[in-house]
Structures are given as structure tokens and as C-alpha cells.
Chain A
Amino acid sequence: MKEYDIVLIEGNEYIEVDRINIEDNIYVYLTELSNPDNFIIRKYLEVDGEEYFEGLESNNEFDKVLTYFLKKHKDIFDNNKL
């Protein structure tokens, strides 16, 4: 059994599912604790020792980052798809 961080984003609790480093940015994939069907992606930043989650700039950035997730987890997905 593995432990995952729970973080608060805009008042809702999310589970931090994964982090992927893409082109010098760290992207965090989060799924809502109360409804795992809902997921969001944030950029992770450290500024002056403080941690921040930042929204993505464009739909293109979202699409690109989401496809990286598929690439990373291709094996799990391929072995479990219907």
C-alpha cells in the first residue's frame, strides 16, 4: 500500500497522483478526493522556499502535458484497457 499526498486546491481536497518533469517544468496530476473522476493538472513551483501550484497557460499546454501522462503510463493503460 502506497501513501499519497492530499492537498487543498481552491477549497477542494485532491490526491497528488503523479509528477512529470517536462521541458524544465514540473507538472502535478491531481485527482479530486471526493470524486476521482475529476482530475486537474498544475505546474509546481518553488519560489523563495515556498511551494506553489500554478494554473496552466493554455489548452495547448494542457493537451501536451496530458499526452505525456499517457506516454508515461502507457503500459498500465495498455494492460488494462477493455
Chain B
Amino acid sequence: MSLSNEEREFKDIEVLFKNRDQKKIYEQLENSRRKSVVNHREKVQRKGKIKINSIKTVIINISLCAVILVGGYKIVSSVNSNLDNPTNMNNLSRTIGTLVDDDYDKESLVFNSERSILSQNTYRIQDGCAYNHEAIARDLIALNDRELYEYAFYSLCHDMGENLNNVISGSKTNIDLVIRELKRISSYGNSDLEQYISNKLENINTLDEYLISDNYVDDKGNPDLEKAIQVMNLKAEGILNQIERNGENKKRG
């Protein structure tokens, strides 16, 4: 079922607030760590007592920082400031997802769902959720368009959020596993995109290597996902318009 513009805007606002709150918690965590890891010992000076009705809010506040820590704060540190305006990326992510969604009615070109590639390939398991990395890679390849693939790849990184760099298998993170599957599947394919991906990923195994190969690096030459997502966010509107125009042309033709 398609979302109305109003519902879509509301969802974007929700994401905006979620990301803003996450950034705040991350900063709080860093601040607490900095003030706690100190080479300092001092006598305990008691200043009296305070009566508090419920300290639950404080406990939740500290626990939230621990959750960020357990959930992979490394990714938060690399994306926390690039999500100030995620609207375009979110729209692009959903639209691209629609192109490869089984619910997409290719005859009528009606988008029956508004799910990103990531959400289509996320499954509930006993302890939470898991991604099907192979299915994600297959969906990216199914886009069959180099430019769209590049946007979809970074859009996927954006969608994974704090789970992007979670180590899943050995030293492989979620996104590394997607890269591994992209390499594997494209190595025996013949389409233009499969050959493109196969060549591109020949010496790439990690997201950092991917970013460096695309020249998304900071002043010191370190991989910079934030920069990549900022660029994609700027270009997303143009890509959305292009997808829309392609759809219109197909309808006419």
C-alpha cells in the first residue's frame, strides 16, 4: 500500500528525530567516557543526601548510552552528522527498493510497496533481526543500471545505520558481507552491471576499501562515509526525477 505524501513526510520527520536523538546519545556517551577515563584519584567528599521520587529516567539515560555501545557505536560516529537532511536519501531508498520489490507491478508500473532493499531483506529472528546479505546483493544487481547501483549501495549503507559495522561473521561486518556477496554473484554473471561490479570489486573486500576506490576520503585520505552519503543526498532528487521520467516513458511507450 502506498503512503500518502503526508504520511511519507511524517515518516521522514520520525527518522529525522530518531537520528538527531541518536546523535545526542552518542555525544553523551563520548562525554561520559572522556570524564570517566582519567588518571585521577580523589577522596570521597559527601555533600549530603537528596530525596528523589524515581531515578528511573537517569537509569534509562545511562542504559541508552550502553545500548549505543553494544549496538555498534562505531557506525554512529561515522554517520551521526550526515543525517541532518535524510529526506532525499529516504525517498530514494524506498523508490529504488520498489524497483526490485516482488510486489512491483511491472505492467502497470504501480508501486505496490514502499520498502527499501534493506527492509525487504530483513528478517526477524529469535534475538532480533538479521539481514539476508545474499538477497540484498541480488537486489542491487537486479537494478541493472550502474548509476542506480551506486546510489543504491550508499543508500543501503545509510539505511543500515548503526548496524552497518556490526561484526556478524569472523571479522566481517554487515556491509562487508554484502560486498562479499556482490563479488561472488557478479563473478559469474554476464550483464553489464555484473561485469562492472566484478571489475570494481576485484581488490575490494571492505567498506573502507570501497569508499577509497570511489574517492570518498577526508583530508587525511581516510575513508569518509559521511562524505559519500552527503553527495548521494544532494544527488538523490535528480535520481528520483530520472526514475520517475523513466517510468513515465515506459508507460507511454
Which A residues are within 8 Å of any B CB, using their own CB? 1-10, 13, 15, 17-18, 29, 31, 33, 36-42, 44-45, 50-59, 61-63, 66-67, 69-70, 73-74, 76-77, 80-81
Chain B contacts for A45, CB-based, 8 A: 41
A sample of 17 cross-chain residue pairs with beta-carbon separation below 8 angstroms, ordered by A number, consists of A3-B51, A7-B45, A8-B46, A9-B42, A18-B59, A36-B58, A37-B61, A39-B65, A52-B42, A52-B43, A53-B42, A58-B37, A66-B69, A67-B70, A70-B63, A77-B59, A80-B56
User: CB within 8 A of B38: which of A13, A37, A55?
Assistant: A55
The answer to whether B69 touches A67 (Cβ under 8 A) is: yes
A57 to B37, CA, bound (A): 6
Q: Which residue of B lies closest to A36 (CB)?
A: B58
Contacts A6-B49, A39-B62, A57-B37 given; 10 further ones with Cβ under 8 A? A5-B46, A6-B47, A8-B47, A9-B42, A15-B50, A18-B59, A39-B32, A62-B37, A63-B69, A77-B59
Which B residues are within 8 Å of any A CB, using their own CB? 28, 31-33, 35-53, 55-67, 69-70
Chain B contacts for A40, CB-based, 8 A: 32, 35-36
The answer to whether B37 touches A56 (Cβ under 8 A) is: yes
A48 to B168, CA, bound (A): 48
